[in-house]
Chain A
Amino acid sequence: MLKSIKPKKWVVAAYLAVPVALYVFTVFAPLVAALFYSFFEWKGGPVKTFNGFANYAQLFSDEVFWSSFWHNIFLVIVCIVGQIGIAFIVVLLINSKVTKLQGIHRTFGFFPSTISAVCIGFIWQMIYDSRRGLLNYFLEKIGREDLQKVWLNEPGLVMLLVSIPLIWQFIGYYMVILLSAVSSISTEVLESAEIDGATGIQRARYIVLPLIKNTLLVCITLCVAGNMKAFDNIYVMTSGGPGYSSMVMAMYGYKVSFEQSNLGYGSCISVGIFVLALAVIGGSQILMNYFMTDSYDRREAKHLKEIEKERKQAIKARKANK
């Protein structure tokens, strides 16, 4: 029995050449290019001047960049709580025995995540609009006209307001992922818990939650990665305004590079986005691994390690004796 199929080398090379070349050209070459241009003062014209680490020095003290970074982090946290939290509750409700028409809820709930972020942005712009918007319309109908605002012009509120469409759009996405995980839990487990008198909330906390832990981790990772690259909605709804109060990293990079045509500093920001996004994603992984393995597991792992160590020492000692 052959372990793998053995075609001629040139056949493999011929099949792989184009995909690999394409991939390197559009993914890795730009990374190198960004790093290269980040050392230049370059406004897009023919003149480029090497300026060492000046761009990076500017980046480190650039308040707008760091505030956009924190806006990204804000989005990540709000969306983890909002998207995955609400999705989890909806999943529990959909899975309860008394629910009818589960398929319709799933289809409707997932619908917003199939629409382009640009459309979502426009829809919510219409909702927030001050004169013809739905939000102010409802406030008027319930007689609270004093609360009406030009919503997207409020620097203190705008981050929350732009995160609501993001949350709304992707609840359904996390809902279907969690739903597939929950439906793979055997009904026997849940039924026996019910017979033993566990309430719905207890079942959710002590049976469902631990059993879908891995899927939850996937969801959180997707959520972190997704919100570090927030761009489309914000470009459409506020372009980072008013002022810089809803600026996110990708939006700032775009503004600097294409509206101020400062491509050198823009490349530097790109490198910054690359490093920070990877750091946040990696950091969140480490945090999750720490919190998700409970103290019992950690003690267990430590214990096993010690046993293994002793065993190895014993083997070594025996070999030495021989």
Chain B
Amino acid sequence: MAKEMKMTKVEDNSAGTRVKRGVLTVVINFFLWFFSLTCIFPLFWMLYSSLKEKRVFNKDIMSLPKEPTLANYTKILSNKDYRLMQSVGNSARTTILSVLLIVIIAFIVGYILSRVDFILNKPLYIMFLMGMLIPIHSLMVPIYIIFSKMGLSNHWYTLLLPYVSFALPMSIFLVQGYVKGIPTELEEAAAIDGSTFSKTLFGIILPVCKPILVTVAIINVFSCWNEFSFALILIKDRALYTVPLGLKQFTGQFSSDYPKIMAAMLITMAPIVVFYFAFSKQIIKGMVAGAVKG
């Protein structure tokens, strides 16, 4: 009886509460939409402003374009001197290779550290874990010195080294934690069937680890595509510029032509934006997993 009383109290539908609830609904949704729109607004602003000419834009920076034109895009895409598309290619290559290497290495090392009992297991684990603490910007100067002394700067593979290394600690940690949760019966059965270590590793464990490897890949796609500071110090050759460097160069050149800069930014952002909106659910899930467990 008492319980029923309480239930009716909660579902009180008198006019007063309904109004209160209605106001609350409007206020909360209004604030959330305000927040969401401020997050997405710059993208829209850039999208429609990039369709204007410089002259039109400078007259009124907010208005929608009356005569939308793709001139900015055609200029950027047709002019080889801007090297913007080249930088997109460089970034794509660097990102894909880095992520592949990160996933493979993190998988192998993470698996070995979590399952194989050998004398260096603990020291290696601690060594990789320590990497998560190291503030990487303190490595900028010495990495520049070492790389230029050994002639490792300015190659297509230059950026793979730091990108892979800096991503390893967290990726290994994620894989290691995941493998711990897999029952050892799998490997025992394989061993009884006469499967070698490598065969078990790639034939049996790899498919089981797919979810965590996808997470590792997602986290690192963004960080590799967007990385700026190490590219800045290690790459001086314009033909090897990645997207952030290419953009920096481009905006320096056209610092007063905002619509053109916006078009350039959108072109270089396009792959990552499409990737994000296509897989946003998995991407957000992966990022959360990486942040919380890492």
Residues of A at the B interface (CB closer than 8 Å) are 1-9, 11-12, 15-16, 18-20, 22-23, 25-27, 29-31, 33-34, 37, 90, 93-94, 96, 98-100, 103-119, 122-123, 126-127, 132-134, 137, 168, 171-173, 176-177, 180-181, 194-195, 215, 218, 222, 225, 228-229, 231-232, 235-236, 249-250, 253-254, 257-258, 263, 266-267, 269-271, 273-274, 277-278, 281
Contact = CB atoms under 8 A, between A and B. Distances in A.
B89 interface: no
Contacts of B200: 5
A231 B137 contact: yes
Interface in B244-292: 244, 247-248, 251, 258, 261, 265, 268-269, 272-273, 276-277, 280-281, 283-284, 287-288, 291-292
A37 B145 contact: yes
B186 to A, nearest CB: 10
Contacts of A5: 115-116, 184, 187, 191, 197, 200
B165 interface: yes
A231 B115 CA distance: 39
B10 interface: yes
Contacts of B243: 116
Given A8-B197, A118-B247, A122-B261, A177 B58 contact: no
B7 to A, nearest CB: 8
Contact of B145 (A33, A180, A271): A33
A19 B258 contact: no
A70 B229 CA distance: 21
A33 B265 contact: no
B36 to A, nearest CB: 4
B164 interface: yes
B136 interface: yes
Given A19-B109, A22-B161, A277-B135, 15 more contacts: A16-B120, A25-B165, A34-B141, A93-B31, A115-B269, A119-B265, A134-B61, A137-B62, A173-B291, A180-B292, A254-B229, A257-B141, A258-B233, A274-B135, A281-B135
Of A1, A26, A31, A250, the most chain B CB neighbours within 10 A belong to A26
25 contacts: A4-B184, A5-B115, A5-B197, A12-B116, A15-B108, A22-B161, A25-B165, A31-B138, A34-B139, A90-B35, A108-B37, A111-B276, A112-B39, A114-B272, A118-B248, A126-B258, A137-B62, A168-B38, A225-B135, A228-B135, A235-B229, A253-B137, A253-B138, A258-B233, A267-B145
Given A5-B197, A34-B142, A253-B137, A99 B222 contact: no
Given A37-B142, A281-B133, A177 B288 contact: yes
Contacts of A270: 138-142
A114 B276 contact: yes
Nearest to A114: B276
Nearest to B264: A122
Contacts of B31: 93
A176 B141 contact: no
A93 B33 CA distance: 11
Interface stretch (B20-28, B73-81, B208-216): B20-28
Nearest to A281: B133
A4 B116 contact: yes
B128 interface: yes
A232 B230 CA distance: 10
B273 to A, nearest CB: 8
B17 interface: no
B228 A232 contact: yes
B121 to A, nearest CB: 9
Interface in B146-174: 146, 161-162, 164-166, 168
A33 B283 CA distance: 37
A269 B18 CA distance: 62
Interface in B180-212: 184, 187-188, 191, 196-198, 200
Contacts of B69: none
Given A5-B116, A8-B197, A180-B288, A31 B161 contact: no
Contacts of B166: 26-27
B179 to A, nearest CB: 11
A25 B28 contact: no
A65 B70 CA distance: 47
Given A93-B31, A122-B265, A111 B272 contact: no
B292 A218 contact: yes
B292 A215 contact: yes
Contacts of A263: 141, 145
B228 A11 contact: no
